[in-house]
Structure formats: C-alpha cells, structure tokens
Chains A and B, each alone.
Chain A
C-alpha cells in the first residue's frame, strides 16, 4: 500500500468509528440535554447490545435478527432504569443521578463478566459482509462500510423525526426548556422514559454492529464511555449537531493520532476535552448557560 492511499483509508477508519460513536452519543446527548442526566451507564447499554447480539447469534445464527431484537431488549432495559431507578433519585439532583448511573455501569459490567466471562468473544459477521470492496482505487473492509451505512441511515431517520415531526420538535424544544414543555401539557415523565428507551436502543444497535468490529469484551463499556464523555463535552452539553461534529473529530483524531503521534494518540482527546472545557465551557456548538 502506498503512502498516498493511507490517508483516505485512515480518514475512513476515523469516519467509521466517529459515526459509530455518534450512534451511541446521540442518545446520551438527548438525555443530557433534556433531563440534565449524564448517563454513566450509557456505555454499559452499548456493551449489553454487543453481548445480547452474541447470544442471539449463537442461538439462531441470524445476524439480521440480532439487529432488531438486541436493540429492543436494551431499549427496554433503558426504560426500566429510568422508570424504576432514576426517577427515584431525581429530587436529589444531577450529581446524585450521576452516582446512580455510575453504580449501574459498575454492576452491569460485573454481571456481563459473570454471565459471559472475562474473555473477549468472537462474533462472526454474515458472509455477505465479510471481505473487502474496491472503490476509487482503494480496498476497504465491507463490514466497516456496512457500519457507516447503518449509522448514516439511523441519523437520517433520527434527524427527520427530530426536526420534521411534532414529537421530535417537542423533544428538541425540551432540550432547552423542559419546564416550558411541561407547562404546555405534555407528559414530560413519559417523554423522558421513552427517550431513555430510544437512547438505549440506539446504544444497543451500536453495540450489535460495533461488537464484531471493536471486539466484544467486558472492557468495551469503560472504553467507549470515556470517548462519549469527551464527545458530549467537546460538542456542547446537550447539542446534537455538536455531538455529531465532536464524534467526527474524535474519530479522526484517534485515527490520525495513531498514524502520526502514536505515543500521544490517547492523550490527544483528553487534551482536547480539557482545552474545550477551559476555553469554551459550553462546548463547540453548545449554548451559553
């Protein structure tokens, strides 16, 4: 492979990871923007998606089935978390909610280790998605392009729902003014619960498609939650376009970081996060409080 073609390939790598990250981050951002809850357990929900997918695949052998059933299961868990746990601690404030979701992340990781073991699991991708495709003079793994395709399809749907439908407009309005929406007679607790469900399902879907690519292992929640926090902070707390921009930035930063400054690659995103918090605390596209 010549030096010139490595640039577009690294770019694609970064794009694929960035988009996968956004798939998880979108739910986290909406939940944060609307409810002020920073969901520490969001990475754990993503991990559950990957593990559910592994088990469903072993029982049925149908990868496509995983893509439907696993996100639904994770979404249901998200709803249960909001309804029966988070709502109880709401009166104690946001730091307390953060503590609760931190405890949930901790326990989900331990349960995953208990049920599926500490070892990384191999998840087989369908035959039609393995191998590589040649285009524009480069060769690229089909499965990664599939991740990209699914992610972009999900955003398209998400953006249409959020900005073109009545329900979506309520949600985006609630991101900045939840008390106002409450006053309009909309059942805010129900919206929150559904938001947790949808956010969880998106994270679960990301787990299903990300599992074979990023290796299904009990550490995957801890790895992605750090990246997610960076995305939420850099993009702007609660800003969906900000999360998209930040996911893209983090993906490319990691991809090219490993290429150019391998020693510093992991540190780059924390530097970026710290700088953003110090210079522009509301984030790149966040609104000033």
Chain B
C-alpha cells in the first residue's frame, strides 16, 4: 500500500457529515447510505486479501452469506440481541474462514482463485438445497429486534435509529481494519504480497499468517453479511452466490486495492451509480463492465490509483519539474 498523506481532518469531517446526514437527505437516500456502509465493510475485508495480500478470491461471498445466515437463524430461533447476532455473524464468517482457509491459503494465483470459487459454490449449493435450515431460494424472513441498553429500549425498526446503529458498527469495523494495517501482522501481509518466500526466510510463518489474515477477512465479511441481513430483515441464496462474490471483487478493483480507502470509494460509487443510473440507463451493467475492463487495461490500481498518480503529477508540476 502506498503511504498516503493520512490526516484526521477529512475523516472527522466525513464522520460529522454522516452524523448530521439524516437532517439533510430523504429516508430513501438514507437507506442508500446504509447499503454503502455495509458494502464498504465487505469490500475492505476483501481487500485484506486482494489489495494488501495479493490474493485474487472469487469466493468471498461465502463468508458474507454464512455470517448472514448465522445472524438470522440465531436471532430468529434463540432471540439473540442484534449486536450479539451480528457478532455471531462475524464469528461464523471467521469459523468458515479458518475451515476453508486451511486449504485455500496453500494456493496462489489462479489456483487460489479457483479453489475459493469451488468452496463458494459448495456453500452456495448447500444453502440452496438444505431447505429445512436455510429455506432454500425462498430464504428466511425475520424481524429486526429492538436494542436494549440498560433500561432503554431503542426501536431499530425506525430508519433513523437503524442508520445510527449501522454507522456505529461501520466506524468500529473500519477503525479496526485501518488499525490492523498498521500492526505487525498488517505490515507482514504487505511483505507476503511482495515476496512471500523472502518473508519466510526472515523468520515469518507465512502459512499460519496467511491463515490468520484469511480468518480475519472472513470475520469482517461475516459482520457485513449479518448487517446486510438485518437491514433487509431477510436472507436468501443471493447473499452467498457467485454474483455476490464478483460484486465485491468489482467494487474493490474499481475503487482500487492499492489504498486503504479505495474499496470504500468503489463500494459507495457502485452502490450509488447502480441506484441512480439503473433507472436512467437501461443497460447500465454494460457501462459498468466496460469501465471495469478499461480500468484493468489502463489503471490497474482503480479510481484511487488514478487520483494518486494525478496528485503526483500535480506535485511535480508545482515543484517545477517536468511531468512524466
């Protein structure tokens, strides 16, 4: 990851804006922002593997969906509280991550892509066929329970309260994911992307480290899945299918895996654009696919990569050097 000129000011401004957002936009738009936040967590968890770890996964929906099912089933059948349900969703994602991770983190490159895809299909088919537990394609509907804090009861059915709940979870998750990139394990992830063999020759157990990172990525994907299910008060096989796995890949790639916030940009941009343009442009998906291919060809670091290189050129010009 490139060293970004990270300052707290823009972050605080964005958080402040998000706090007062309900005063500024309609309920419909607020729901759109909730979707963006959930996909931001999902895309950031994916980027632990893709941008930071250098692994191309076609199966990250497995952990998102598994977390979603775990959250829904446990809240529905065991009357768990919502924060607990979402935490369990994350733990379920981590559990599946470590289970599959034992096998997939041995692979690299195309083999890794294929094995993650195989496991995703396996878990998808299980969700589709094990109707007694998952409801098959009909899915499971449930009610978002209210939040009890001491003597207070907060009605999470109200969009405003639910918005602040998701905002809180998102800020916590993004904070953790950001912090993780600064810890020794986060730095090691970059080393392994750059040169895994050398990392092992200076004393790092790369297999175990990859497995731990894969598990953590599964955890945050599971949290995102739990939130998404609680948002829609419903879970079905579209939470876990291949389209979901490739959606998160597209978001991350378009936003750019080379910077920390790139995937957030991708998640927000695609969510927003899909909502705004899908009603105007009949075949928006063709434009999205075209944009993806153009980025693959000309800007492999996505939108945030374009921004960084533009800024670099701008800096050079300011210093009076020839732009390259």
Contacts and interface: CB of A to CB of B under 8 A. Distances in A.
Contact, chains A and B (beta carbon distance below 8 A): yes
Interface of A: 36, 38, 85, 88-89, 92-96, 98-100, 102-104, 106-107, 110-111, 113-114, 222, 226, 229-230, 232-233, 237, 263-264, 266-267, 270-271, 273-274, 277-278, 281
Nearest to A85: B297
A277 B115 contact: yes
Interface of chain B, helix or strand or loop or mixed? Answer: helix
Contact of A114 (B242, B286, B293): B286
B296 A270 contact: no
Interface stretch (B79-87, B116-124, B180-188): B116-124
A98 B107 CA distance: 16
B300 A92 contact: yes
A264 B296 contact: no
B205 interface: no
B158 to A, nearest CB: 38
B125 interface: yes
A11 B299 CA distance: 49
Contacts of A95: 56, 109-110, 113
A61 to B, nearest CB: 30
Given A226-B121, A237-B111, 7 more contacts: A38-B110, A110-B283, A226-B117, A229-B114, A270-B121, A270-B125, A274-B119
B285 A110 contact: yes
A62 to B, nearest CB: 31
Contact of A230 (B118, B126, B293): B118
B170 to A, nearest CB: 27
Contact of A273 (B118, B246, B283, B293): B118
Contacts of B114: 38, 229, 232-233, 273, 277
Contact of A264 (B118, B129, B253): B129
A103 B110 contact: no
A271 B122 contact: yes
Contacts of A100: 293, 296-297
A110 B289 contact: yes
Given A103-B289, A267-B125, A270-B122, A38 B300 contact: no
Interface string B272-294: 00000000000101100110110
Interface residues of B, number: 32
A271 B107 CA distance: 17
A63 B122 CA distance: 38
B103 interface: yes
B92 to A, nearest CB: 20
A38 B103 CA distance: 21
Q: Which of A93, A95, A226 gathers the greatest number of chain B CB atoms within 10 Å? A: A95
A235 to B, nearest CB: 12
Contact of B113 (A36, A98, A111, A273): A98
8 nearest interchain CB pairs?
A: A107-B289, A103-B293, A270-B122, A267-B125, A103-B292, A95-B56, A106-B289, A273-B118
Contacts of A278: 103
A44 B142 CA distance: 38
14 contacts: A89-B297, A95-B56, A99-B253, A103-B292, A106-B246, A113-B283, A114-B283, A233-B114, A266-B125, A270-B119, A273-B114, A274-B122, A277-B103, A281-B107
A278 to B, nearest CB: 5
Nearest to B55: A95
Contacts of A271: 122
A253 to B, nearest CB: 14
Contacts of B125: 266-267, 270
Contacts of B56: 95, 98-99
Of A94, A104, A277, which is in contact with the most chain B CB atoms at under 10 Å from its CB?
A: A277
Given A38-B114, A103-B289, A106-B246, A267 B126 contact: yes
A99 B106 CA distance: 21
A85 B115 contact: no
Contacts of B297: 85, 88-89, 100
B129 A106 contact: no
A264 B122 CA distance: 10
Nearest to A268: B125
B126 A94 contact: no
Given A222-B242, A229-B117, A263-B129, A96 B285 contact: no
Contacts of B249: 99, 102
A111 B119 CA distance: 29
B251 to A, nearest CB: 13
B292 A281 contact: no
A82 to B, nearest CB: 14
Contacts of B293: 85, 100, 103-104, 107
A187 to B, nearest CB: 24
Contacts of A232: 114
Contacts of B246: 102, 106
A96 B292 contact: no
A243 B144 CA distance: 49
A164 B129 CA distance: 48
Interface in B91-139: 103, 106-107, 109-111, 113-115, 117-119, 121-122, 125-126, 129
